[in-house]
Amino acid sequence: MRPTIWLGLLLLFLGGCTDSSTDPQVEPPPSPVDRLKAASRVVLRNASLVVTMDSALGTGPLGTLENADVLFADGAILSVGKGLEAPDALELDASGRIVMPGFVDVHNHLWQSLIRGCGADKNVLGWLDECVYSMRRVALTEQEAFAAVRLSIVDLIDTGVTTVLDNSHAFNVNFSRGNQRALDESGLRYVFAHCASGSRYPEHRTIKAELDAKWPMASFQVCSHPGTSTQTWLTNATALSKELNVPLNLHLSENIADREERQLESMQQARSFEAKLLVNHAVHLTNEEIALLATSHARVAHNPLSNMRLASGVINLPEMRAQGIKVGLGLDGGTNDMSDFFANMRAAVGLQRAKLLSASAYPSIPEVLRMATLGGAEVLDLQDVIGSLSPGKKADLIIIDPRAPNFGPRWDWLNQLVFNGRPENVEYVFVNGRVRKAEGRVLDVSEVELGQEVDATVQRIKAVLQP
């Protein structure tokens, strides 16, 4: 046979053996994360511990189950139990892991990623002057607000937060738009509390109408500040919250100096106790004032890390519990300098123990875990939607991998969630059944590019404030 024929046969043979994966016409198979992103029906298989927050589903007050499955589809939880039948669901191996509801952050200021580390030696009054009120001179743009809020959101997802209340200072209309756009595109469940001062801002009604169409992924609140110097603002905000039938969100008694502002009298004059009240901090209240909050069915956002950083004091949680007040946990933006819900739970437990010199002080470990999940949902009036893994509720849940040096061997995983947990232990985050963090990585974001954009904004702010 002639050499040219041999060469032709050899080329034909080699062509037939070519790896099809190099053919540009052949699509590579989807990765496990891509399949998870596309799935509308998922079953988490054989989780070593499922903390349902529903005592009817498992043992103890938190309804715990061992070696159990969680099935969810189309954004809702279908069932929790052992050996669930789910032939058409995408299976995710959860063996060796902890599955629980996502954390509910009931008080934050997401734009404040811009001022991390600012005013570190100031109490709340000095910090506000140096780090917050000065922003009125900067004229932050829509894109700058978007990037700052988006950076905080990535931090929240990383620590396992699935619902956040963003108390926006709304410095200008464009800022508010960027803030909202970041929340919308995040995939998080959120409450937007609009804090523009003045009379009856028309954007309140517009924003509420937009968020009503997205419920229960989004909802609206009106916020203000009580005190003799802000009486007109509070009166108008109170009237607006009643008109719109939305909660009135107030910073109350955060610093001891707030008592000089006669905030409770201001609220009575504005008839704020007739509104649906959510108050933040509530540190320096007498037992009689706590009883007044209870009588008005007010809810409380407790921000232990922030209260420590700003030397604000220690809230009277046991009395609030005795009065039946619903309390959730908040991260409170730039005064945390980070988003770490595990550290927030530790602080909530530790502050009460240090103040009362009692290791059995409220909240206990199960109580603070509930406060961080179902308790937060109750504060936001979302307890029928989220906060537990009860069938019919939305699939807002997280998977925690305890196989890390900081978590260590299993002794008591409920205790370890609070005392040992860190954001890096959160392996998966699902909101409304959609994965937002997978294999330890927040999805669909370039953290480097986002950090660079926010850093550029910070440099511009400094140039304006310190020319």
Question: Is 279 inside a domain boundary?
Answer: yes
Is 60 part of a structural domain of the chain?
no
127 assigned to some structural domain: yes
| pLDDT given at position 23 | 57
Whole-number Å distance between alpha carbons of 408 and 398: 19
The domain tally of the chain equals 1
The pLDDT value given to residue 7: 40
Give the pLDDT score at 235.
94
Cβ atoms within 10 Å of 463's Cβ, excluding its own: 10
Residues 6+ apart with CB under 8 A from 65: 49, 50, 52, 57, 58, 59, 80, 81, 82
pLDDT of res. 10: 40
Per the listing, tokens 């409304």 go with 432
pLDDT of residue 453: 92
**pLDDT for the residue 374:** 98
For residue 74, the Cα-to-chain-centroid distance in whole angstroms is: 22
Domain extent, residue 149, equals 103-387
| Average pLDDT, 10 consecutive residues per value, the chain (467 residues) | 43 45 71 94 98 97 98 98 95 98 98 94 94 91 95 96 93 90 96 75 83 96 94 93 96 96 96 97 98 97 96 97 98 87 98 97 98 98 98 98 94 98 98 98 90 93 87
Within its chain, how far is the Cα of 291 from the centroid?
Answer: 28
Interior/surface letters 194-230, b for 16+ CB within 10 angstroms, e for the rest:
bbbbeeebeebeebbeebeeeeebbbbbbbbbbbeeb
DSSP letter assigned to residue 59: B
36 domain-assigned: no
CA distances from 181 to 144, 246, 258 (A): 12, 21, 33
What pLDDT is recorded for position 170?
79
- pTM (2 d.p.): 0.93
CATH of the domain at 259: 3.20.20.140
Residue 357 lies in a domain: yes
Q: Evaluate whether residue 84 is within a structural domain.
A: no
Place of tokens 């730039």: 334
pLDDT on residue 2 = 45
In a domain, 409, yes or no: no
Judge whether 382 lies within some domain.
yes
pLDDT of the residue at 122 = 95
